[in-house]
Chains A and B, each alone.
Chain A
Amino acid sequence: MGEFGLRRGRADLRSAGPITFGPAGILFLADNVAAKVFAVDVADPGPVGGSEPFDLEDVDARVGSFLGCEPGDVVIKDMAVHPLTHSVYLSVQRGHGEAAQPVLVRIGRLEGAVADVPLEDVPLAEVAIGDAPAEDDERLDITLPLGEEGEELQVGERKIRILRQPIRTSTVTDMAYVDGVLLVAGLSNEEFSSRLRRIPFPFRDKAAGSSLEIFHVSHGKWETAAPIRAFVPYDGGASILASYTCTPVVHFPLADLTHGGKAVGRTVAELGAVNQPLDMVSFVQEGQEYLLVANSAHGLVKIACRDIDGQLPLTEPKEPVGVPRETKDLQGIRRLAHLNGSHVLVLQCDDAGRQHLRSLKTASL
């Protein structure tokens, strides 16, 4: 793992966030509380996966049982599939508030066995992703810690211990690895911006890469920037399809990201009112590449990549808007991942709030 700059150590994970696989079975884990991304060699022990489906009912209850908590105390933040073994990795927050604990869970494809992935004494690297504070931003939220955290201050005759934490934070909403670069989309808790960060991997510096503001034009008239909620590279990593908190689906070539400054994407579709994109994945069906978008309000949306490439920018505010898309009658899908050449794995929440892992056959999607 030396070639990727990993050193044995402990991933001091403070929160569970988005995860995605990079090269050679290295998993990237975003930690929004620590404002870091970890790259961890997960040393998956499983055999090489085939093309069979994988389904697991009540995955939240099973994970909870292993972690010793009720399903309500299991928050599945993200899902990724190991590219070789097809084991399922879940980024889980166990418990809430001060009892909350981040856990990386692995589910074996063969028996559905649940295990936690060790994060101590493993090959790893880390990079800081906190918004570099502006030079004049000294604002810190000062609290009184319970333990030994923080720094000691003399107040009159008393010594008190205080903890200074930044008020301005950036929350990673999605990540993808393309050809030596980790792309990170985030949401600021202050300014409204659309920044996509490029972090070269192996991580070279402690501070993280460059970032770029991506604008998009709606209906030829309105140009805006907005936080990217989910995105997916396709066409061998040459293109990115991003979907926004305000639901336009925007295409831009990856090459545009390397120039720095401002990029303007092409709005190719809208996902509809009072709706939020949740996740995206690409898959191949009869030699053609397609994208699936999971939404909060609609079924799974399927879009053909060739339609995106041929779609002119949306110029008329009329319905239907944008690329042809099919809406699959599959509700409650929160996360998507490529399982194998024949299946897409989904994390689906049913009407009773129970969560399940299900395989969708790409040939019949």
Chain B
Amino acid sequence: MTEVSWSRSGGADCIRLTGLRGGADVQIRPGTAAAAGGRPPMAGRLVRDGAGLCFVPRFAFLDGTAYTVTVDGVAAAVLIRTRPDRPATTEVTAIRPTAAEVPCNLLRLYVWFSAPMSEGYAAQHIRLAGDSGEVIAGALLPGEHELWDASRRRLTLLLDPARIKRGLASHRDAGYPLRSGEPFRLVVDRGFPDARGVPLRAGAEQRYQVGGEERRHVDPGNWMLTVPAAGTSEPVQVAFGRPLDHGLLARCLQVTGPGGRPVGGTVRIGPQERSWQLVPGQVWEPGPHQLIAEPILEDLAGNSVSRVFDRDLTSPEDQPRQARPVTLPFHPR
């Protein structure tokens, strides 16, 4: 009588078989169908271990998967790798932009999670919905390529750029994914699995009002700078006049002091991503300082300092601007 059970061998998980006749042909396949239509057996090796024989897989057994063991072509057992019961602890920590109103040509949203997530589920578990709950179909760029940061805690979502770009068939035929004056919500389902395969502690959503088009360059020349006093640690603050992209904002602004030395300190992005401030690590020196903006800094609609999202070749205002950083000089008072 052959007995089959989960076991360990040589420090690895294995399936242990006892009571086998010598030379028996043992095969393991995932699933419960013994025949499995000519599918190859699971890769691994059979090793003699004490009185039994152990199947040690080349690729680890997966939780939640059933394995069918056949001996000489006859199903001998089905073993199920149970999924450990783990509490839901991961949650959405932020959805950005945080602005209450976004332009109807909004390009990008970010969702931050408290722990690493599983890839491949975003399309299933994240959607844009109208106020009455109906899904705004075709609004988010469908993608096999989900845009995660390296630790799988920040997900970037793009609205379908083909529907935002003027002159393209998609835009002409389907129009903007969002409509001015029609609020929408970004909804993250509770079922979105984290990296452990466990759902979120709770779903999350953020509601937005939708304004008109935003087609202008990001223009540092129009920013309002609040200049700190020399000898203090007051922040230098800049207000943009419109919300900018959170991801880019966090890396596209820098302050330098006399001699071009970078000023270190604590950066804070203001409410609704409409402002930015730097609290210096040391008191402000007198003398010339600069706020430097990278040309790739974008607003919510993908317009940057150097170029608008889609350029009307007949419009002089749409001409690309210099691809070099823009500097705003200031002197601590």
Interface residues of A (CB under 8 A from B): 33, 35, 58, 61-62, 64-70, 73, 75, 77, 93-101, 103, 113-114, 116, 134, 136-137, 139, 141, 143, 163, 165-169, 171, 173, 187-193, 217-226, 245-248, 270, 272-276, 278, 296, 317, 319, 321
Contacts and interface: CB of A to CB of B under 8 A. Distances in A.
Interface string B116-131: 1111110000000000
A99 B197 contact: yes
A68 B170 contact: no
Interface string B71-108: 00000000000000000000000000000000000011
Contacts of B313: 217, 220-223
Nearest to B164: A246
Nearest to A144: B115
A339 to B, nearest CB: 22
B36 interface: yes
Given A167-B247, A224-B165, 9 more contacts: A33-B150, A66-B39, A73-B65, A139-B251, A168-B247, A189-B147, A190-B251, A222-B165, A273-B169
Closest CB pairs A-B (n = 9):
A97-B118, A246-B162, A65-B39, A165-B150, A97-B195, A189-B147, A68-B42, A273-B170, A222-B167
A274 B138 contact: yes
Contact of B167 (A94, A272, A317): A317
Contacts of A248: 168
Contacts of A319: 169
Given A94-B59, A190-B245, A134 B294 contact: yes
B31 interface: yes
Contacts of A221: 166-167, 312-314
19 contacts: A61-B39, A66-B42, A68-B60, A69-B62, A70-B31, A96-B197, A141-B153, A143-B153, A166-B149, A167-B154, A188-B147, A190-B251, A221-B166, A245-B162, A247-B169, A272-B170, A273-B169, A273-B174, A275-B170
B310 interface: yes
Most central of A99, A103, A217 by chain B CB within 10 Å:
A99
Contacts of B19: none
Most central of B42, B166, B169, B307 by chain A CB within 10 Å:
B169
Contacts of A66: 39-43
A219 B311 CA distance: 12
Contacts of B154: 141, 167, 189
Interface in B13-30: 28-30
A107 to B, nearest CB: 10
B298 A68 contact: no
A185 to B, nearest CB: 11
B313 to A, nearest CB: 6
Given A67-B42, A189-B156, A96 B119 contact: yes
B307 to A, nearest CB: 8
B230 interface: no
Contact of A113 (B40, B162, B168): B40
B61 interface: yes
A268 to B, nearest CB: 14
B161 interface: yes
Interface string B31-54: 100001101111110000000000
B196 interface: yes
Contacts of B160: 246, 274
Interface string B271-288: 000000000000000000
A276 B304 contact: no
B116 A98 contact: yes
Contacts of B148: 169, 189
Given A141-B154, A167-B150, A273 B247 contact: no
A275 to B, nearest CB: 8
Given A68-B67, A223-B311, A245-B162, A168 B40 contact: no
Given A69-B30, A273-B174, A192 B40 contact: no
B75 to A, nearest CB: 15
Most central of B29, B37, B167, B313 by chain A CB within 10 Å:
B167
Interface in B171-207: 172-174, 193-197
A167 B254 contact: no
A43 to B, nearest CB: 18
A145 to B, nearest CB: 10
B220 interface: no
A62 B31 CA distance: 12
Contacts of A93: 119-120
Contacts of B162: 245-247, 273-275
Most central of B28, B151, B161 by chain A CB within 10 Å:
B151
A270 B169 contact: yes
Most central of B59, B162, B251 by chain A CB within 10 Å:
B162
Most central of A94, A191, A247 by chain B CB within 10 Å:
A191
A171 B161 contact: no
A70 B67 CA distance: 10
B296 interface: yes
Contacts of A218: 165, 167-168, 310
A136 B262 contact: yes
Nearest to A334: B144
Given A66-B40, A103-B59, A116-B58, A224 B149 contact: no
Contacts of B310: 218, 222-224
B142 interface: yes
Interface in B286-330: 294, 296, 298, 302, 304, 307, 309-314
B296 A193 contact: yes
Contacts of B195: 97-98
Contacts of B172: 317
Contact of B107 (A136, A166, A192, A273): A192
A270 B42 contact: no
A33 B146 CA distance: 12
B90 to A, nearest CB: 11
B66 to A, nearest CB: 9
Most central of B119, B168, B296, B310 by chain A CB within 10 Å:
B168
B39 A141 contact: no
Contacts of B144: 77, 278
